[in-house]
Amino acid sequence: MKNVPLYLAGEFVQSQTSDWIDVTNPATNEVIARAPAATDAEMRKAIESAADAFRTWKEVPVSERARVMLRYQALLKEHHDEIAEILSQETGKTFDDAKGDVWRGIEVVEHAANVASLMMGETVGNVARSVDTHSWIQPLGVCAGITPFNFPAMIPLWMFPMAIACGNTFILKPSEQDPLTPMRLTELFEEAGAPKGVLQVVHGGKEQVDVLLTDPVIKAVSFVGSVPVGRYIYETGTRNMKRVQSFAGAKNHMVIMPDADKQQVLNALVGASVGAAGQRCMAISVAVFVGEAQSWIPELKEAMTKVRPGAWNDSGASYGPVISPKARERVESLIATGEAQGANLLLDGRGCTVDGLPDGNWIGPTLFSGVTTEMNIYNEEIFGPVLACMEEANLEDAISLINKSPYGNGVSIFTSSGGAARKFQHEIEVGQVGVNIPIPVPLPFFSFTGWKGSFYGDQHAYGKQAVRFYTETKTVTSRWFSSEATAEAEANFSIQ
């Protein structure tokens, strides 16, 4: 049994806690490790050591900070498969999917290596006679990140490389359900030459998060997770005068116009709804068929019947188990509610089994049609391989349906009409829009721009926005006296 260490002041240490959280393999429910709920003293040590490290790290030239990211990127690439295997063990993701999780994180590290140009300020010479103004972008101090179970490589890598490249130090509290991947990322970060104390990793749940949300040393908090926790983090963090970016749950629609390419639609819908067992914040969970496109639902059912879950290293499996027995029960109970509330259950994934793995948290592909906005399967994020089909008469009605949703993470339209696509992207009130792309996650030189109930805050993850989030702007107005110019400059310096 592996006890997951903490990473404090540049050392991997065993916690002194008596409170341990089991980490399981979701395909077998075997306990593969235990994560500590860090003690108060360990939380204090993380914060103090991050504050100490900030005093020296902020003085390290930006190009040296960028070089740590370059070495880190190379190491992550070198260990890509090995990290993905650890990730598959603790999440159940298929190997390809796990590799994708790591790869999307590597791309953020590449972006973080460009930090120097991202931290350039602005300059205007001669704002008044002999007076110049320039701005500097400076780090905030100690930042913290709290991450969810569903992307244990990508989401920690959304946060600490950007924050640290900007000159901050960082305390990561990864999900207690899959902490082994973030620990491997941490080992490699140390190997890349990150100085001691620049990154700290603590484990636990609400109690440990509350320390991060209330301690005055911490200047900014990044969170990704569910809606209730996301709201709590935003409210508590901002009440404690911190900068907070909080990415929360979602319910993403895909609009299918009758002029779309049917085969593309079917392939996209199957992958985007049941891929990763539906445990993606950008998964498509609602398919909105417009007009004649409704007649494609039987073929969608047929395509979904061919997909099955399985072990991480089973090359025939399309996706893995859900993360825990509790998650499986929740998804199954929502399927039952959908049926009870009158939706047509075309494919029922409850009671799914996988040969040789009788104890896994399996759910088969599940498809509903005739779903309405009053039903729980429409209103709640299911976070399982469940797709709800709805019908609308025209594009206008589809847009109106989606704009009434409290969520705004991702949305997609499949069409061959430029006019329909243009109207959709202009009018839709969702932060990430795909046109003939089912899961439009922006690459790291853009930002991850969820809206409405899917995001609380203003500056988003990665891209230029992350740099703004993790930095402060200092504006300097200066006047240098030279003997001849002095009198004239003094006479003329006035800014109304």
Binding site for ligand NAD (CB under 6 A): 146-151, 173, 175-176, 205-206, 209, 224-226, 229, 232, 247-250, 281, 381, 383, 409, 448, 450, 454
Closest residue to ligand NAD, judged by C-beta, is 225
Closest approach of ligand NAD to the CB of residue 491, in Å: 56
Find the length of the chain: 496
Closest approach of ligand NAD to the CB of residue 156, in Å: 10
Closest approach of ligand NAD to the CB of residue 443, in Å: 15
281 annotated active-site: yes
User: Between 215 and 381, whose beta carbon lies closer to ligand NAD?
Assistant: 381
C-beta separation of 403 from 288 below 8 A: no
Closest approach of ligand NAD to the CB of residue 146, in Å: 5
User: Between 67 and 231, whose beta carbon lies closer to ligand NAD?
Assistant: 231
User: Between 368 and 383, whose beta carbon lies closer to ligand NAD?
Assistant: 383
402: nearest Cα among 285, 272, 253: 253
Residue of 143, 166, 281, 352 with catalytic role:
281
Closest approach of ligand NAD to the CB of residue 205, in Å: 5
5: nearest Cα among 186, 218, 160, 211: 186
Nearest-angstrom CA–CA distance, 324 and 433 = 31
User: Between 72 and 223, whose beta carbon lies closer to ligand NAD?
Assistant: 223
User: Between 228 and 358, whose beta carbon lies closer to ligand NAD?
Assistant: 228
| Site of tokens 């709805």 | 390
Closest approach of ligand NAD to the CB of residue 377, in Å: 15
User: Between 362 and 383, whose beta carbon lies closer to ligand NAD?
Assistant: 383
Active-site annotation, residues = 281
